[in-house]
Each structure stands twice: as C-alpha cells, then as structure tokens.
A and B are shown apart, each in its own frame.
Chain A
Amino acid sequence: MEKMTISQKILAKHAKKDFVKPGEIILADVDLAFANDVTAPIVIKFVNDLGGVIANKDKIALIPDHFTPNKDINSANQCKIMRDFVKQNNIKHYWESGEVGIEHALLPEQGYIKPGMLIVGADSHTCTHGAFGAFATGMGSSDVGFAFATGKSWFRVPESIKFIINGKRNKWVGGKDFILKIIGTIGVDGALYKSMEFCGSAISELPMDDRMTMCNMAIEAGGKNGIIEADETTINYLKERNIADYEILKSDEDAQYVKIYEFDASNIEPQVAFPHLPENTKGISEIKEDIKIDQAFIGSCTNGRISDLRIAAEILKNNKVAKYVRLIIIPATVEIYKQAMKEGLFDIFLEAGAVISTPTCGPCLGGHMGILADSEVAVSTSNRNFVGRMGSPKSFVYLANPAVVAASAVAGKIINPVEVIK
C-alpha cells in the first residue's frame, strides 16, 4: 500500500477509498458544513433554489458572528435571512446574539470538532479546525450550499508541506509567532493549494489555543488546510467536553511531502507583520524605528481565546493604556467572556482603560466596533493586514501576538513585552 499523509487519509476515508493521490479530484462525504452572516445568505439561496433540500440537518451549522449584534439595516436583513432559514428548517446548530461567538472559536469549544473529521465552512479561516487532526478547509458559499444540499463536496487532494518546529519556546512567544515566522519564510502564496502539516517537539508542547492560532493562518500562506495530529493535549481538551467518539489518524512515516521546513523554536522571538501583507514579518528586536499606534485590538478567531486574554492581563496589570490610544478587547465566545470575568481579567482591562465588547468579529474585518480612520495605525492580534482590512484604505495594520499588542497599547508604540514587564 502506498503511504499517505494525515490529510490524504482523512480525504480517502470520506471518499470511501483505500488510497487517494495528490492532484486527484474526489467527491467526499462532509461531517460538518457551516456558514456565517456574511456568507450564509448566498448558501441559503443556493439551497432554496434547489428546492430546499438539506442532506443532514445535524451536520450543518449557522453562526451569525461577523456583524453581531446587527450593526446596520443591511446586516440585520442578512441575519434575518439566516434566522428565518433556521426556523423554517428547524436547524439545531444556531446561536443567537448573547450566546454566539466567532465561529472558529465557538465550534471547537462547543465540542463540534473532532479528530479525523472532514469539515467545510463558508469562511476562509475554517482551516483553524485542523488543530484537532481534522481536515478543515474554507470554501465559497456555493460550495457550502452544495454540501448542505448533498452532504458532499469535491476536493482536489492536496500535496503536503511539513513544518517541523523543535526546541524550547521563548517567553512571550506563542503559536502566533510560529505561524508568522512560517508565513514570513514561505510567503503569502508559499503553500498555495497545499496542506500545511505542523509537527515537532515545540508543537507537541503547544496548548490547543495556540495550535488553533497556527492552523487558523494556514490560509495566509495560501494553504488549503493546516493540520496537527491529535495527541494527549487534544485528547484532554476533548475529554473536558465529554467527547470520546473519534478516530485518530496519523501520517505514515514515509508519506510524501513536496517540501520540509525545519525551525528551532529557541530562535523564534515575537514576530510583527508589517502592512500590508502577513508575509512582511520582522522579529521584534529587528524593529529599530518608532511605530506609534492609534489603536490596539486583542480578539478575533486567531487570538481571542482565554489564554490570549490571560497573557494580555498579565501585561496590562497595574499598567495604563497610553494617551490617545484605544485598546479594544473582544473575547471570541461567551464562554471565554464568562471565564475572563470570573478570573477578574475584566477588572484589569477596565482599570487599564480598555474597551471590552461582546463576542463578534467586529474590527478584525473593519466591520464595526473600532474602525480605523485615514492614516491611522493599528496593531492587532487578528490574521490579515491587507489594505483597508480594518477600516480606511489609507490606514495601516500590524499583526502580532496578544503580549506584543497589550504591551504596545501601554507604550503607545510597537514594543517588546519585556520592556513593559520589567
């Protein structure tokens, strides 16, 4: 039998084949398909135009997270299309404002994501869920409409690239820095159409939150999916949610990779991606100029999880946000929101002068809750710093981890966290 990577194995299993080879196009059964308030109206039109067929209601989810609570009349109408569809079809997996969170934080936290699954979402950051040893990829609305209606999707089996990160992780360095380092090395199309597989001792030591951050940004290198094999850490995360029914698949030892990259974690420092591409990365110590900021944002499906908020609190404790700087903190889900409140993190944030919002994508895509004006500069824990991504097409976005963003909010300029925490 020819050897396969974990991605090939998951695709083969769902296409009911013993073997699939890179380049091959297959039709496979999908375990979960979902859409959000931006993409769902087109998904719903696709399904309704087909006569309203849904292959399996338990395998679809609808998550109004981008402009929630409805930011204007148009977005309210989009959410209404979604809500009406959910009511009409009696769809279980739907969350209203007050319980909703950002889809890629909400779904794993609520126990929807398991190793070995095949997942498609009408959102490019669906690749986040590969952190559980699942094959997860973002698609457009028609593709997800197709999956809603038929329970299937077509895939071109991707070639795989292996990224091995060994060694000990430095203080204030997390999954965000690993993935920014990788994107900085291979470029924004360095993994175009390909599967990005992350492994090595530094990955084994990463908590689930950081693994999700890494897989989340596979798309920023053009990747079809990011994937990390399930291990003890994954199993423990699932145990906490009483999940035991899954199959763990692993890459064969001599599976084929088109490329293998190796990194030493001890050489990776906090990374900052400069405007206007995630590949424009620099290590924090390489930044010699003063980059003054107007806004700092901690949140999004990349870094809006509880461990991110804890890191931010560690830095913001007994510190104040610099004059004329807005610090916006958005827990990615209600569960994270409650946990942060319970741990007293909100007291620290409010004392420091931050704004805390209900879970939403908000400023990450320039939606609402903190839009940038012309020529303003932001440092953000999100995943994209394209022109106009967070507001004015004349604004500038730098990407970094939550420690760097919190420290920068205090300093009023992009700064190494070690300079704030002495």
Chain B
Amino acid sequence: MIVAKVWKFGDNIDTDLIIPARYLNTSDEAELAKHCMEDADPDFVKKAQKGDCIVAGFNFGSGSSREHAPIAIKAAGISCVIAKSFARIFYRNAFNIGLTILELPETDKISEGDTLEIDTKTGKIFNKTKNETYQATAIPEFMQELIESGGLFNYAKKMIQKGA
C-alpha cells in the first residue's frame, strides 16, 4: 500500500518534459533525478517529497525510448504514476525498472495536493481528501509475473540459468 500526495500534470507529458535531452549525456540516477519534470515544472524537484505521486492525463511518457525518463522519476522518490493512458515504450520501461504505474480513466477527479491510498496489487485507489474510491485497470498477467520475478533483469537471469 502506498500513501501519496498528488502532483497533477496534463495530457501528453512527453519524455523531453520528463528528462530533457540536454541531460542525457549521463545515465547517473541521482543526476537524472535532479532534472525530473524540469521542462514541465521547473520547481518540481524542489516541491516534491519522497513518496509523492504523479497523476496525469492521456499518453504519459510519449516520445523517446529513453529509460532515463522512468529512472529520473523513480530516483526523484516518486512512488507511483497514475495516468489515463501511457505511451507504450514508457509503459514497458516503467515495469522493467520497477516504477509503479497505474492506468486510471478518471484522473480528472483527482486534484493536486490530494492524498491517495494506492493498493498496487489490486489497483484500488482511495482518495482520502475527497473520500472517493477509484479502480485502476488491471495489470496484465505477464506483467504481474515480471514484477513477481523481480523485474526483467531477474526474469532474464532465470531464463539464462534454465538455458545453461
């Protein structure tokens, strides 16, 4: 269960907004975290506290395949991203590196500053501020397997051991 304060963003938050290319000359997590969401909200890193969550509209993470985007968000201490929909490469990347993401059609009901209780297993989200409950889209079985084996890396490890 995650308890998180909400930072709200709109539709089409692309990977250039999440982590601009001018910072892509490194893959150092702490360095990337410093510039997380910089071009969407230059003060984001200063304002956001560890454990807070991002709530957004359609097509979150569109654009580049840069894994630096979910890494920057995770390294900045964000516990979870909830959006109406995710761009597909971002969706995969987030699972692969262990950033929790949930698809929820009703993100418009959630406001900045709300406090959410998020059950990542069931996808049930309780908005403590508004006293409302939402249900996020179920995570596909394969992705759950991936999470349970500890991400793509451990899944690969198992595969290689089996093959050897």
Interface residues of A (CB under 8 A from B): 25, 38-39, 41-42, 45-46, 49-51, 53, 66-67, 71-72, 74-75, 78, 121-124, 126, 138-143, 145-146, 149-150, 152, 154, 156, 188-189, 192-193, 219, 222, 224, 277, 365-367, 384, 386-389, 393
Contact = CB atoms under 8 A, between A and B. Distances in A.
A150 B156 contact: yes
A149 B157 CA distance: 9
Given A49-B153, A366-B20, A387-B39, A139 B89 contact: yes
B16 A189 contact: no
A53 B162 CA distance: 14
Closest 8 CB pairs of A and B: A74-B25, A140-B93, A142-B96, A140-B67, A189-B59, A124-B65, A75-B25, A365-B21
24 contacts: A38-B24, A38-B68, A46-B156, A50-B156, A66-B24, A67-B25, A72-B25, A138-B65, A139-B89, A139-B92, A140-B96, A142-B67, A142-B152, A142-B153, A188-B12, A189-B12, A189-B59, A366-B20, A366-B21, A366-B22, A386-B14, A387-B16, A388-B16, A388-B39
A189 B65 contact: no
A50 B154 CA distance: 9
Interface in B23-61: 24-27, 39, 58-59
A375 to B, nearest CB: 15
B126 to A, nearest CB: 28
A42 B27 contact: yes
Contacts of A45: 27
Nearest to B17: A387
A195 to B, nearest CB: 11
Most buried by A among B17, B39, B64, B140: B64
Contacts of B77: none
A219 B66 CA distance: 13
Contacts of B64: 123-124, 365
B59 A192 contact: yes
For the side of the interface on B, what is the size category?
35 or more
Given A154-B142, A386-B63, 5 more contacts: A25-B140, A71-B25, A139-B89, A365-B24, A367-B22
Contact of B58 (A122, A189, A389): A189
B65 A140 contact: yes
Interface of B: 12, 14, 16-17, 20-22, 24-27, 39, 58-59, 62-68, 70, 85, 87-89, 92-93, 96-97, 140-142, 151-153, 155-157, 159-160, 163
B96 A124 contact: no
A77 B68 CA distance: 17
A53 B160 contact: yes
A39 B16 contact: no
Contacts of B21: 38, 365-367, 389
Most buried by A among B65, B153, B163: B65
Given A140-B93, A143-B96, A192-B87, A384 B16 contact: yes
B157 A50 contact: yes
A50 B156 CA distance: 8
Contacts of A393: 20, 39
A182 B81 CA distance: 30
A192 B85 contact: yes
Contact of A384 (B59, B63, B89, B159): B63
Nearest to A393: B39
B15 to A, nearest CB: 8
